Amino acid sequence: MALSIPRVWADYRIESVRLWPAEEYTRVTFEAPVAIQSTLFSIANPERLVLDLEGVGASAALLAMAHQVNPDDPYIRNIRVGHFKPGVVRVVFDLKVPVSASTSLLKPVAKYGYRLMLDIYPQNPSDPLQSLLEQTQNLSPPEAQASPPEAMTSAPKAPIPIPGVAATTSPVLLASGPPVQSDAPALAPSPSTLARAPMAAATQGPAAVDSAAQPPTSQPATVPGPPESSLASHPAEAAAVRPTPSLMAPHALVIAVDAGHGGEDPGAQGSAGTHEKDVTLAIARRLKAHIDAQPNLRAVLIRDGDYFIPLQGRTAKAHQLHADLFISVHADAFVNHEARGSSVFALSERGATSVAARWLARQENASDLIGGVNLNRHDPYLAQTLFDLSQTATINDSLKMARAVLDQLHQVNVLHHGQVEQAGFAVLKSPDIPSILVETAFITNPQEEQRLNEPEYQDKLAGAILAGIQHYLALSTPVRARTTALPESTAHQMAFMP
């Protein structure tokens, strides 16, 4: 007769903890060499999330969690860590607003071990389109921006005890963040931050840990106007020529600019340590600034921070924002460090146009595995179903736009391919939005990596992409724009017609 051996907890350690705050959602990632067992629940008055990690020993990564909290995090106010009982470490998240949260355990992939993902969403998520409209209505000239006032602070208050841990228990490992300040008045955005967070609300300053504290109220962020160099020198002339916000203009087009990768998914990495996700975001922000300076164009950033968005979520978000065009910005990579040049890709219905295009599409489509798609969470951006129907008309428009952008990029950099290539990129699978993927340069080429980090070169790339878009628009009308004047039912049918 076999003996029943009681279960003994393996005292493993959490090797790394990473926080990725964003208006869309905040993600907390715990990484360990073995699968992490956890229990998650919430407590109200005040709002808290409690995550019990089972079989976990104390580690520097866990105890240092609190110091990773960004004062601008829209949801997490503070983090406290302590031993709840033998073999269980309790992590308490003090919240700023009511949230909904879920966890997902990912198996090892790429350079990562087992990862426990904690995703924190607002209970009442804002509508991206409504936020964009509010920002457009609140558009103010750059010269009218006030200087940010100094933050007001007060003495910190005593932290709330961790649930289930008696104050006299010994020994207790307890880690909490730096002294928490009282609610500070919202700061006026600086010019450097005005180009960021096109759909995000500006968050209030950190608030004191107080059981009676109310969730801070977000204020809509303002969107910068065109660069001053594009305006007339006389104030009256400047007011006369200032472009109309594109969403208010009668024939404005909305362009979704997608910075590739983000958060847990760094993308490719150069020999000097440059991450693709950082380069793509920098170029995307510059491209947005160039587009917003045009009188009949308006740009929206799919990702405006270091956080991860699933590939299908990027396309769905563009649909929610009623985008007319979709531009995904990337930096190419290859095992041969001598590979160089810019490329532009469109979607293919019949397979890749080359072995290299197929390889690249496979690499880019693996972003969901690396970034970590939480299958236990119904992402609000995936609420709109994307039909897998014939996309011939949209692909034809995409090819036209891709050729125009490729021609302009040739003025800035050599071309890796002399023509537009096609492959099955998941992020380009939109039935009615012409979509292209721009590989600006090879981040794995030391010379191109260095140039990709230069603001002047980033600006040249952004300007070339805009010039290509403008050339395409001068000769074509996007699918979505062609259908806006038709009855809704007819427009919907035509958007999916071959």
What are 137-195's pLDDT values in tens digits? Answer: 554 443 333 333 333 333 333 333 333 333 333 333 334 444 333 333 333 333 333 23
pLDDT of the residue at 199 = 29
DSSP 8-state secondary structure symbol assigned to residue 211: T
Helix pair 311-320, 128-137: axis angle to 10 deg: 50
User: How sure is the predictor about 354, in pLDDT bands with cuts at 50, 70 and 90?
Assistant: low
> Could you tell me if 91 and 62 are in contact, meaning their C-beta atoms sit under 8 angstroms apart?
yes
pTM beyond cutoff 0.85:
no
Q: Give the tens place of pLDDT for each residue, 323-337.
A: 999 999 999 898 889
The set of long-range contacts for 353-361, using a CB threshold of 8 Å and a minimum separation of 24, is 353/421, 353/422, 353/423, 354/417, 354/421, 356/421, 357/421, 357/422, 357/423, 358/423, 360/332, 360/423, 360/439, 361/423, 361/424, 361/425
Mean pLDDT for the stretch of residues 389-410: 86
DSSP 8-state secondary structure symbol assigned to residue 142: G
Which are the contacts of 111, defined by CB distance < 8 A and separation ≥ 6? none
Mean pLDDT for the stretch of residues 233-254: 44
pLDDT of the residue at 160 = 33
In the chain, what are the domains? 12-138 (2.60.40.3500), 228-495 (3.40.630.40)
Assess whether the previous peptide bond of 6 is cis (omega < 30° from 0): no
| Gap between the Cα atoms of 324 and 318, Å rounded | 9
Q: Give the tens place of pLDDT for each residue, 60-104.
A: 999 999 999 988 899 999 999 998 888 899 999 999 999 999 999
Residue of 111, 399, 140, 389 whose CA lies nearest to 266? 111
Mean pLDDT for the stretch of residues 423-441: 88
What is the average pLDDT score of the chain?
A: 73
Q: Which residues of 216-230 are buried (b: 16+ CB within 10 A; e: fewer)?
A: bebebbbbbbbeeee
Please return the burial class of 51, using the count of CB atoms within 10 Å of its CB with bins 0-12, 13-18 and 19+: buried
Token code pair at residue 154: 């007060």
State yes or no: pLDDT of 227 exceeds 70. no
Residue of 294, 140, 285, 296 whose CA lies nearest to 224? 140
Rg (CA), the chain: 24
State yes or no: pLDDT of 11 exceeds 80. no
User: How sure is the predictor about 211, in pLDDT bands with cuts at 50, 70 and 90?
Assistant: very low
User: Which has more confidence, 131 or 149?
Assistant: 131
Q: Give the tens place of pLDDT for each residue, 26-56.
A: 999 999 999 999 999 999 999 999 999 999 8
Does the CA dihedral 471-475-480-484 come out positive or negative? positive
Q: Give the tens place of pLDDT for each residue, 244-273.
A: 333 444 458 999 999 999 999 999 999 999
pLDDT of the residue at 369 = 76
Please report, to the nearest 10 degrees, the dihedral formed by the alpha carbons of residues 251, 291, 440, 425 taken in order: -40
Q: Please, where are the H alpha helices in 250-310?
A: 276-292
User: How sure is the predictor about 342, in pLDDT bands with cuts at 50, 70 and 90?
Assistant: very high
Token code pair at residue 252: 């404005």
